[in-house]
């Protein structure tokens, strides 16, 4: 089976932060079978969706990466929806709306894909990706392809079994509910307006929320209270309208963004003794200072 693969791939234009150097080897599977073949032959490869929540180092990555955004097939059968991991949330949200199906209205403002949303249990506007989930097809390096029911996925705020056991989402089945399409569209429009008001537009390179909310608190509130809004390092700055977003406004580097994250983390820790946990991922390893900063931020 011939699989699309590129060596010394310049990844910058595919990333939401518009950072990133060359990746030694990148695979682009288009089906579950291709994905399994690649991972069986390259067990050390790291897996990402469309890099909407990942800061990629400008110093590159000396390893193998699998990007699943070409695994983007889905089908709608009555109220049942089966979607591959690479299907983008907004596309699926619009598709089910046209069929008068409710449950994905929150996805309209998310740039991420189904696999990533399940992995982190993405949520907004009182909806979560786990709400309508029936089952998930995952790949485990130990067990191969495994199917889990919703109850077996261990969903909690911004986490799932996938993160704890290093499982890779390949496909998911959902059961939505019938509703008037116009009502669904109205909710989606409100969600988009909210995003425009409280989150930077995607034309400003960003990866969404930088830090997870601590239990019973808000990362945005904590960061706002320590006065980080508008703070900049190099070409990266904290968005003026919300303190938990970093935008790459002037060709900022991955080092600029990590340094800014460290400033945010440090100020909150000094004032509240709370150690914020990153919501975004980092792909790098070739720069000592970046490695130091990420180890502090991720506690690894």
Per-residue pLDDT tens, the chain, 300 aa: give them: 677 999 999 999 999 999 999 999 999 999 999 999 999 899 899 999 889 899 999 999 999 999 999 999 999 999 999 999 999 999 999 999 999 999 999 999 887 899 999 999 999 888 999 999 999 999 988 888 999 999 999 999 889 999 899 899 999 999 999 999 999 999 999 999 888 777 787 678 999 899 999 999 999 999 999 999 999 999 999 999 999 999 999 999 999 999 999 999 999 999 999 999 999 999 999 999 999 999 999 997
Tell me, what's the pLDDT at 102? 97
Considering the domain delimited by 5-67, tell me its CATH architecture. 2-Layer Sandwich (3.30)
Residues constituting the chain: 300
Catalytic (active site) residue 279: yes
Catalytic (active site) residue 161: no
The single residue of 31, 123, 158, 225 carrying the catalytic annotation is: 158
At 191, list the tokens. Answer: 């969600």
Of the options 3.20.20.80, 3.40.50.620, 3.30.465.10, 1.10.645.10, the CATH number for the domain spanning 74-198: 3.30.465.10
The single residue of 6, 25, 275, 279 carrying the catalytic annotation is: 279
Catalytic (active site) residue 195: no
| Cβ atoms of 271 and 291 closer than 8 Å | no
**Whole-number Å distance between alpha carbons of 16 and 23:** 16
**Whole-number Å distance between alpha carbons of 2 and 16:** 29
According to CATH, what is the number of the domain 219-298? 3.90.78.10
Give residue limits of the domains in the chain: 5-67, 74-198, 219-298
pTM recorded for the entire structure: 0.89
**Whole-number Å distance between alpha carbons of 8 and 1:** 22
The single residue of 16, 209, 254, 255 carrying the catalytic annotation is: 209
**Whole-number Å distance between alpha carbons of 263 and 246:** 12
């Amino acid at each position: 089976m011939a699989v699309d693969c590129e060596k010394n791939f310049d990844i910058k234009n595919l990333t939401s932060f518009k950072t990133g150097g060359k990746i030694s080897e990148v695979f682009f599977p288009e089906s579950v079978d291709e994905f399994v073949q690649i991972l069986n032959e390259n067990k050390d490869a790291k897996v990402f969706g469309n890099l909407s929540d990942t800061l990629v180092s400008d110093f590159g990555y000396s390893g193998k990466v699998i990007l699943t955004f070409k695994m983007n097939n889905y089908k709608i059968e009555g109220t049942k929806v089966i979607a591959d991991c690479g299907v983008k949330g907004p596309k699926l949200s619009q598709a089910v709306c046209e069929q008068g199906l409710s449950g994905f209205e929150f996805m309209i403002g998310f740039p991420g894909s189904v696999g990533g949303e399940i992995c982190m249990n993405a949520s907004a506007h009182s909806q979560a990706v786990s709400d309508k989930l029936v089952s998930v097809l995952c790949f485990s390096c130990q067990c191969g392809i495994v199917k889990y029911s919703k109850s077996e996925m261990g969903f909690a705020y911004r986490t799932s079994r996938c993160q704890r056991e290093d499982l890779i989402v390949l496909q998911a089945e959902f059961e939505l509910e019938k509703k008037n399409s116009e009502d669904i569209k109205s909710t989606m429009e409100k969600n988009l307006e909210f995003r425009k008001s409280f989150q930077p537009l995607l034309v400003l390179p960003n990866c969404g929320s930088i830090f997870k909310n601590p239990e019973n608190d808000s990362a945005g509130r904590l960061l706002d209270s320590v006065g980080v809004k508008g703070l900049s390092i190099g070409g990266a700055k904290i968005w003026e309208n919300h303190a938990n977003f970093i935008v790459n406004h002037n060709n900022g580097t991955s080092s600029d963004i990590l340094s800014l994250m460290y400033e945010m983390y440090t100020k909150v820790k000094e004032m509240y003794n709370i150690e914020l946990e990153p919501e975004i991922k980092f792909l790098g390893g070739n720069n000592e200072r970046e490695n130091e900063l990420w180890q502090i931020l991720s506690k690894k």
